[in-house]
Amino acid sequence: MKLVKALIITGYGINCEEEMAAAYRLNGESAEIVHINRILSSEVSIHDYHIINFPGGFSFGDDIASGKVFANKIAYRRLITGKTLLEDIQSFLAEGKYIIGVCNGFQVLVRLGLLPNIAGKFEQEVTLMQNDSGRFIDNWCTVKANNTALPHLAGITEMDLPIRHGEGKLIVRDDFIRNEILRLKLNCLTYIGNPNGSELDCAGLCDPSGQVFGLMPHPEAFLSFYNHPDWNKKKILNPAHSEDGEGMQIFKNIINEIKIKLIN
């Protein structure tokens, strides 16, 4: 049986790569953690994988803006082919493959113009700024799925997920982009009780193709039911509760989609 092959990109302060890899390995699939420099030097090709994962962390210490320097390396550093990695990612998507970014990874996708990419030009249309509180948030939140046509969110209505960010407030460039996000249902995941002041209560975005998905909360940090701070209460109320954490469903969904669409 052929496995889903997940590429987990790390380096320069990314620190959630092991949890992201575990999301695939616990489902019996293949996940390889690769430093970004091995890709930029063309030692590793993104085309050998079905899905690219940009995990959370603090790339380059968030010294300029969260994800900005990491995004610039992808956008401007050229591979031995002469293409930038961003151009290679565009080719990867043209093959029908998938990308997910969480927290710092979401910030990278936004700054690369991969999300929401309404105009299809891979130009930045939204940004992520400092939380309204002016402080780093380390808590749990409840989010609602608004676009269950997105393969990652199939069958999901609401879920609890942890958040850990200082710059999670989504700001939209202009009214046209805002209206298109709503019209196309790209605001696929919203907070119930907005913890950071995001426009549209946005917790996650997808692109019009449904191949690129980014979110601020951490599904890879809720792979086990026992990760939840109220697991004991939930277990008492429902002794038959699944051992999986709610975040696992996002990965199960995209694994299933890849097997249907990409693995023969």
Active site residues: 103, 218, 220
**Residues 6 or more apart in contact with residue 233 via CB below 8 angstroms:** none
First to last CA, the chain: 10
Tokens 């919203």 -> residue = 190
Strands 51-54, 98-102: pairing kind:
parallel
Please state, in angstroms and rounded to a whole number, the distance separating the CA atoms of residues 98 and 100: 7
Tokens of 231: 């697991």
Cα–Cα dist 264/261, whole Å: 8
d(CA 65, CA 128): 9
CA-CA distance, 189 to 68, in Å (whole number)?
A: 23
Cβ-Cβ contacts under 8 Å for 72 (sequence gap 6 or more): none
Identity of the amino acid at 159: M
φ/ψ (deg, to 5) at 14: -65, 135
Which conformational region is residue 128 in: left (phi greater than 0), alpha (psi within -120 to 50 degrees), or beta?
A: beta
Structure tokens that stand for 234 in this block = 């939930």
